[in-house]
């Protein structure tokens, strides 16, 4: 039997987005994230998979070791029962990298497809939560239901999606609201 998953963007979805985060000591989880992930993992048996663009590496602002250290710190803060099962990240940016390398960058669904293969995930019973238009486009490109979290740049993100003719399946004020949507939808409570 295949696994189901909730794919999460990292910065702005799990933790506060203060720019290119390279210092694990500055990682701060968003409200409700630990509780929401715990519920999804332990009560509903979703795999938790992070897919994240980390172009700060291509830009020379942070290193891949910084990305790994921040990911490790996130799991430390989440604790064993709420930890992320796997982190996938794309270190590249079109302005600083070869076109072949950039193929992993969201809105490409490559990281999702890689995770589905690696973790035996059924894409049809999986979801994506993110705070940017590239997350929602990535979900659509992969055939996933998507949840857009509101943020400081929410209006800009909605406008970009609207212009592209794309919309999220649900817009959530916070992570716990996104969690409730996933649980209700998965359990047959939403149409």
Distance CA 103, CA 46 (A): 27
Which pLDDT score, from 0 to 100, does residue 130 have? 96
Both tokens of residue 153? 């740049």
| Number of Cβ within a 10 Å radius of residue 112 | 25
76 belongs to the catalytic site = no
* Contact in structure between 148 and 131 (CB atoms under 8 Å): yes
Which pLDDT score, from 0 to 100, does residue 186 have? 94
Distance CA 144, CA 138 (A): 8
Distance CA 28, CA 107 (A): 25
Task: For the chain, 191 residues long, give each residue's pLDDT as a single digit of tens.
Answer: 799 999 999 999 999 998 899 999 999 999 999 999 999 999 999 999 999 999 999 999 999 999 999 999 999 999 999 999 999 999 988 787 788 888 999 999 999 999 999 999 999 999 999 999 999 999 999 999 999 998 776 778 888 888 888 999 999 999 999 999 999 999 987 54
* Catalytic choice (11, 17, 131, 135): 11
Domain positions in the chain are 4-186
9 belongs to the catalytic site = yes
* Contact in structure between 92 and 102 (CB atoms under 8 Å): yes
* Catalytic choice (9, 17, 131, 135): 9
Q: Domain 4-186 - what CATH class?
A: alpha beta
Which residues are CB-contacts of 29 (< 8 A; sequence separation ≥ 6)? 14, 15, 16, 74, 77, 78
Which pLDDT score, from 0 to 100, does residue 153 have? 67
């Amino acid at each position: 039997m295949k696994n189901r998953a909730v794919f999460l963007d990292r910065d702005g979805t799990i933790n506060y987005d203060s720019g290119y985060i390279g210092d694990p000591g500055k990682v701060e989880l968003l409200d409700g994230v630990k509780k929401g992930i715990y519920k999804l993992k332990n009560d509903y048996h979703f795999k938790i998979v992070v897919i994240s663009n980390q172009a700060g590496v291509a830009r020379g602002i942070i290193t891949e070791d910084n990305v790994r250290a921040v990911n490790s710190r996130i799991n430390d803060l989440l604790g064993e029962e709420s930890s992320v099962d796997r982190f996938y990240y794309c270190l590249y940016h079109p302005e600083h990298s070869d076109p072949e390398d950039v193929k992993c960058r969201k809105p490409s669904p490559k990281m999702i497809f890689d995770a589905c293969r690696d973790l035996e995930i059924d894409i049809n019973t999986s979801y994506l939560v993110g705070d940017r238009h590239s997350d929602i486009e990535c979900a659509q490109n992969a055939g996933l239901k998507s949840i857009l979290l509101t943020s400081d740049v929410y209006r800009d993100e909605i406008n970009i999606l609207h212009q592209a003719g794309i919309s999220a399946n649900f817009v959530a004020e916070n992570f716990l609201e996104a969690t409730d949507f996933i649980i209700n939808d998965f359990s047959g409570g939403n149409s």
